Amino acid sequence: MPSKPLPPITMDAVYAAPGYLFRRMQQIAVSIFMEECKAFDLTPVQYAALIAIHTHPGIDATRLSAVIAFDRSTLGSVIERLQAKDYIERKPAPEDKRIKLLYLTKSGAAILREIIPAVERAQARMLEPLKPADRKQLMGLLVQLVDLNNEASRVPLRAEDALEHLGKAG
Amino acid sequence: MPSKPLPPITMDAVYAAPGYLFRRMQQIAVSIFMEECKAFDLTPVQYAALIAIHTHPGIDATRLSAVIAFDRSTLGSVIERLQAKDYIERKPAPEDKRIKLLYLTKSGAAILREIIPAVERAQARMLEPLKPADRKQLMGLLVQLVDLNNEASRVPLRAEDALEHLGKAG
DNA sequence: TGTTGATTGACAGTATACTGACGATCTAGG
DNA sequence: CCTAGATCGTCAGTATACTGTCAATCAACA
């Protein structure tokens, strides 16, 4: 019995699919970031981790993963690399032997200060081809969509929740 | 001499950055795809490759990488896995000993036929939280942006160019 | 108090991605 | 014909990502 023919499949359908466009845009974004920041030898992920540690000194790895929506198992190696570059340090928590607290070193604070202009150039370049009004529109829609789809990924973003357990008044 | 203080850095600035949003949306898109398609054991990348091989039978790996905007070195392992699952086969090209031509097997055509509804559900789910008008707007802007930024990634999309050398009238 | 259940960091295994390099092969030019 | 340059598939090395698991540790409750 001959199999039914496939429905008409075109690459154009792939090129217009949301999943394909998100993947492609991510590739492009990383590429632009690395180009603008190549003098600093920092990846987008490492940069985000540094920012988060700067913003939340003494955070632990699990909470860090929630704050930047990274996978915990991926984060381990990211932290290792940042530590090897002397941008962060880990101190054991006195009250919980399982936890290691993360702090920016002076080198870490310094590179953050230096890299920020390059990162901002990169972010601007990603949207540059669009008209300013379209950039705003796109960002607005993306912020909405990411927020509304938050629970769909393995590591949903938990920005405030994560901080409630850090010892501050919650 | 005390170092200058960092400019005010907030996680909110990160959460609103295009690069962060693209990364996050990609994570979410892959997660939704895998959930809808878990019965088929196919990744988004493998799916795109199958579609491209179906659309362009006898394509070689380098041209395939251009058609789906993948890295050539990544594609090797993707092809291996598809071949191991008996979804594609590779035949040596008679006129060029360097090249191996890619074809869908019957199993490959079959799984493509079966998985397409699930993929379409996944693609729809990614945009579901938005109002229909906003979905259109977002996709329109993304298509524009990806197209205008095409050259920024390592492997720019070369949909038509790639086919001109395939033996068809170019 | 003693055990159950949850959490933390770590690890193994798989799959994209990119950089840079390599031998085999093909093509063009002299 | 024969060599210089380009192209093809491949590989090594690095960096995200995700799944699932584990021992150590902690918290809560009987």
pLDDT digits (tens, 9 = 90+) for B86-97: 999 999 999 999
A residues 131..160 contacting B (CB < 8 A): 134, 137-139, 141-146, 148-149, 152-155, 157, 159
In this predicted structure, what is the pLDDT of residue A168? 37
CB spacing of B14 vs A51 below 8 angstroms: yes
Give pLDDT tens digits for A66-100. Answer: 999 999 999 999 999 999 999 999 999 998 999 99
pLDDT above 80 for A23: yes
Q: Which pair of structure tokens corresponds to residue B8?
A: 């005010």
The amino acid occupying position A7 is P
In chain B, whose CA is at the least distance from the CA of A157? B24
B167 pLDDT higher than 80: no
pTM: 0.91
Half-sphere exposure of B40 (CA within 13 A, CB side): 24
What is residue B152's DSSP assignment? G
Is the CB of A141 less than 8 angstroms away from the CB of B134? yes
pLDDT at position A126, please? Answer: 97
pLDDT digits (tens, 9 = 90+) for A110-167: 999 999 999 999 999 999 999 999 999 999 999 999 999 988 877 788 876 555 544 4
| 22-81 in chain B: CB under 8 A from chain A | 22-33, 44, 48, 51-52, 54-55, 67-69
* Per-residue pLDDT, B168: 36
B153 touches strand D (CB under 7 A): no
Nucleotide nearest to B35 (CA to C1'): D18
Min Cα distance B78 → chain A (Å) is 16
Q: What is the distance between the alpha carbons of residues B101 and B166, in angstroms, rounded to a whole number? A: 10
Q: In sequence order, what DSSP letters do the residues of B67-117 get, joined into one string?
A: HHT--HHHHHHHHHHHHHTTSEEEEEETTEEEEEEEEE-HHHHHHHHHHHH
DSSP character for A128? T
Per-position DSSP letters for chain A, written without gaps between them: -PPPPPPP--HHHHHTSHHHHHHHHHHHHHHHHHHHTTTTT--HHHHHHHHHHHHSTTEEHHHHHHHHT--HHHHHHHHHHHHHTTSEEEEE-SS-TT-EEEEE-HHHHHHHHHHHHHHHHHHHHHHTTS-HHHHHHHHHHHHHHHHHTGGGSSS---HHHHHTTTTS--
Amino acid residing at A48 = A
